[in-house]
Every structure is written in structure tokens, then in C-alpha cells.
Amino acid sequence: MIELQGVTKSYNGSTKAVDNLQLTIPRGEIFGFLGPNGAGKTTTIKMITGITRPDRGTVLINGKDILTDTVAAKRQFGFVPDSPDLFLRLRGLEYVNFMADMYEVPHSLRKERIEVLAKRFDMIDALTDPIQSYSHGMRQKIIIMGVLIHEPEVWIMDEPLTGLDPKSSYTLKEMMREHADSGRTVLFSTHVLEVAEKLCDRVAIINKGVLQFCGTFREMQEHFQSDESLERLFLEMTDHE
Ligand SMILES: Nc1ncnc2c1ncn2[C@@H]1O[C@H](COP(=O)(O)OP(=O)(O)OP(=O)(O)O)[C@@H](O)[C@H]1O
């Protein structure tokens, strides 16, 4: 479960990138975070994950405060950032083991977990190659594997499907569904509204740092008294000044 209470952030003391955001993302849900470029999605995700400090407000992950109980809060989640260009000098397997070390995954569990993940993402043959030699999609997949190796309860993913081929994208979406259906939490941001419409139990739409809507797609249609697609409703909400 992720709770944001009055979360606010300005850069350089000027316009608010995120303004008084109030959100609760319960267990058992795939939650989509949507908004146009520059809306404040990444800033919000960075505040949830403790990378950026909010000016005001509180972030709780499974009840643990990211600012005051940071390590306990960080143990609750796995985070896939928007750029997978990390640890390029390591081989895939070294990186996944490094992540397993960080999260104290026992050696007895690692081999099987790595095998299962590598099989699902078609990465078995690439594990011994340096990440530098990987394509964008392969880098994305190794980052996802490194995150999932410690089986975090809460998944937080910033545009995780970008660059994935159709099979890997299908696999990740399937894993997100399984994770949420087993009573755990998935938060991800995306620009692909068709994916959000099909995959998410609820979505939040943010524009210029302000929450425009939070709820199910059906609730959104009821709210706007419209049977339009998510894409049309999104454009209506975010196009107007
Ligand atoms: N490090 C920074 N310094 C100054 N301004 C920033 C910084 N990071 C983000 N911003 C500004 O904050 C606002 C929100 O940016 P953010 O990256 O959170 O949006 P986003 O919704 O993730 O966008 P995108 O969909 O393009 O990735 C934008 O106006 C952006 O220019």
C-alpha cells in the first residue's frame, strides 16, 4: 500500500512540479499513473521512492514513512526507473547478484529466482554479457530482473514497458496482474493509454502537478457522463488551460 498525503514539490522555488498530491494505492491493485509530458509523474515517483525530498507532505509505503523510516520503507518496494542505463560495466548476472546482495536474498534462493526470471524474459543467453552490450529493451529487462529478485511487495515502475518487445511486454503485464491478484501493489506510469485502460484497476491523471482524476475507468466515464475511450477523456482533461 502506498499513501501520499499533501505531497508538494517545487524546483528552484518556482512553479510547483507536484502540488498537494493526495493518493492512496491499496494492496491488490494495478494503479496507473498518467499525465502529459512534464505533468509531474517522475517527480512524484521520485518522492515516493525517496530519491527526491518533498517540500511538504508525507509518503507512507506499507505504513513506513519514506523520510523518517527510510530503510524499512525501501525494503517494501522495488523500483524500475525511467532510464535503464545503469551499471553498464557489470555483466547481467553480476548486476542481478549485486541487487540480491543489497536486499540480502539468501544464496539458496537466488539461482532458482534468476533462472525463472531469465526464462520469462528470454535473458538466459545474455546473462554473462556486459550490460553495455545490451539493447535498450534488454537493459530494461535486466533492471526489472534486479528489482524482482528480492520479491518486493510493492512494485513502482516508471514507464516500464518502454522499449520492451511484444513478448516481454506481455510477460511483464502478466506478472503485474499476478502480483496484484496475489494481494500486493503495483504502481506504474505510462503514456500508453490503451495499456492503462486494459491493465489498470484504477488510474490517476495528473496535469501540471495537480491531480485531475483518480478512480476506475468506469468511474471516469460516469464522472464525465461519457462512453468515450480513456484516450479521449485523458485529452479532454489535459488539453484545456
Ligand atoms: N531536476 C529538475 N530541475 C528542475 N525542474 C525539473 C526537474 N525535474 C523535473 N522538473 C520539472 O518538473 C516538472 C515535472 O517534471 P516530471 O519529470 O516530473 O514530469 P513527467 O510527468 O514525468 O514528464 P514525462 O512524461 O515527460 O516524463 C516539469 O516542468 C519539469 O521541467
Could you tell me the domains of the chain?
2-239 (3.40.50.300)
Is the per-residue pLDDT at 162 higher than 70?
yes
Which pLDDT score is estimated for 214?
95
Is the per-residue pLDDT at 130 higher than 60?
yes
Q: Which atom of ligand 1 is nearest to the CA of 82?
A: 27
Is the per-residue pLDDT at 171 higher than 70?
yes
Nearest CA to ligand 1 atom 28: 38
Is the per-residue pLDDT at 168 higher than 60?
yes
3-13 tens-digit pLDDT: 999 999 999 87
32-88 tens-digit pLDDT: 999 999 999 999 999 999 999 999 999 999 999 999 999 999 999 999 998 888 899
Q: Which of the listed residues 12, 41, 45, 161 should we mutate to test ligand 1's pocket, taking the one with most ligand atoms within 8 A of CB?
A: 41
Asked whether the ipTM of the predicted complex exceeds the cut of 0.95, the reply is yes
Nearest CA to ligand 1 atom 24: 37
- What SS3 string covers the chain? CEEEEEEEEECCCCCEEEEEEEEEECCCEEEEEECCCCCCHHHHHHHHCCCCCCCEEEEEECCEECCCCHHHHHHHEEEECCCCCCCCCCEHHHHHHHHHHHCCCCHHHHHHHHHHHHHHCCCHHHCCCEHHHCCHHHHHHHHHHHHHCCCCCEEEEECCCCCCCHHHHHHHHHHHHHHHHCCCEEEEECCCHHHHHHHCCEEEEEECCEEEEEECHHHHHHHCCCCCCHHHHHHHHHHCC
190 lines ligand 1 (CB under 6 A): no
Read off the pTM. Answer: 0.93
38 lines ligand 1 (CB under 6 A): yes
Is the per-residue pLDDT at 240 higher than 80?
no
pLDDT over 90 percentage in the chain: 82
Is the per-residue pLDDT at 14 higher than 90?
no
